[in-house]
Structure 1
């Protein structure tokens, strides 16, 4: 039986079975986490002012049980206000740092969080990420899926770096 519980929050078109979550999930299992994977069907045309409330509706019930870590991808980072409010450490994969609600939540978070993004992702803001936390991994040529152009070995290497960063974050923050 695992000692800790992690909630995995998908992106808009990136579910918890996709490569980042599959490998991070395995890394967390090996670190004695039970995983709770959220799945959802994102409404087709949610307004930007409504999508945050919709994400909170989807994620909040999963946080009613004791939770030691939240891992969210892109749209899932709209759960940052919940993680901050409930004082849960988090890993945010390609977080939506252009959305004020996400940034505000990260600024008020009292628990550590890791931000991971790609330098070729137009939604990533590396300097802002570094101002928000000392726990940052930026994959320079990676896109919003953290894929790197060229031979797939470069993307596999990036995935390995993401897993190492998550394992290190969990280890050093005693999450």
Structure 2
């Protein structure tokens, strides 16, 4: 069996153990992957980064996480972690990008340069999501009506928990049908 490694890069606030990146990493782990969960070097700084600073700040940390990885490597990034899309493009790595900032020219450039398949996950109530652009960038897409940047939907929390299940299933399907078929 080929060795598989997944690097999980969190968003700016809650780390890699928050539900979206945790479940995405768990989906890969259940398929035999070793999971490297990255915690940002300066978590307090993540809230003050400008869009121009995000990519250059994320890339060295993502690169460090990839050191020594062998075999099949997959990147999973939530929001801020999605700025590693340039690294995925440079190394032709498949990826799962959870709520990426599709309003960022830097991010869109990295996504456009990617040659490996990637899954985009976002919600129509997220100000950083662009449904037309998402469909232009990749055929692998989960778009949830009324979901915000945290993939919460209006109403009872059970509805948002169901969205988490949809995300987990989309990641599993992407891994099974596209990345590790």
Q: Give the TM bin, normalised by the shorter chain.
A: over 0.9
Is 1:51 aligned with 2:59?
no
Alpha-carbon distance, 1:156 to partner:
1.3
Secondary structure class of the residue paired with 2:179 = coil
Secondary structure class of the residue paired with 2:159 = helix
Alpha-carbon distance, 1:164 to partner:
0.6
Question: What is the match of residue 120 of structure 1?
Answer: 125
1:66-121 CA-to-partner distances (Å, cap 9, x unmatched) read 35110001111111001110111000000011111111111111100000001111
Write the distance in 2 (CA, Å) between the matches of 1:167 and 1:6: 13
Displaced runs of 4 or more, over 4 A: none
Is 1:26 aligned with 2:31?
no
Q: Alpha carbon RMSD of aligned pairs, Å?
A: 1.6
Question: Which residues of structure 1 form unaligned runs of 5+?
Answer: none
Do the aligned residues in 2 keep the contact of 1:2 with 1:34 (CA within 8 Å)? no
1:1-29 CA-to-partner distances (Å, cap 9, x unmatched) read 98311000011113111111222222221
1:107-157 CA-to-partner distances (Å, cap 9, x unmatched) read 111100000001111111111000000001001111100011111111111
Secondary structure class of the residue paired with 1:173 = helix
Greater CA drift, 72-81 or 35-44: 35-44
Do the aligned residues in 2 keep the contact of 1:116 with 1:136 (CA within 8 Å)? yes
- The number of equivalent residue pairs is 175
Do the aligned residues in 2 keep the contact of 1:2 with 1:33 (CA within 8 Å)? no
Question: What is the match of residue 80 of structure 1?
Answer: 85
Do the aligned residues in 1 keep the contact of 2:75 with 2:96 (CA within 8 Å)? yes
Secondary structure class of the residue paired with 1:145 = coil
Pick the aligned partner of 2:108 from 96, 103, 106. Answer: 103
Question: Which residues of structure 2 form unaligned runs of 5+?
Answer: none
Do the aligned residues in 1 keep the contact of 2:8 with 2:38 (CA within 8 Å)? yes
Do the aligned residues in 2 keep the contact of 1:118 with 1:146 (CA within 8 Å)? yes
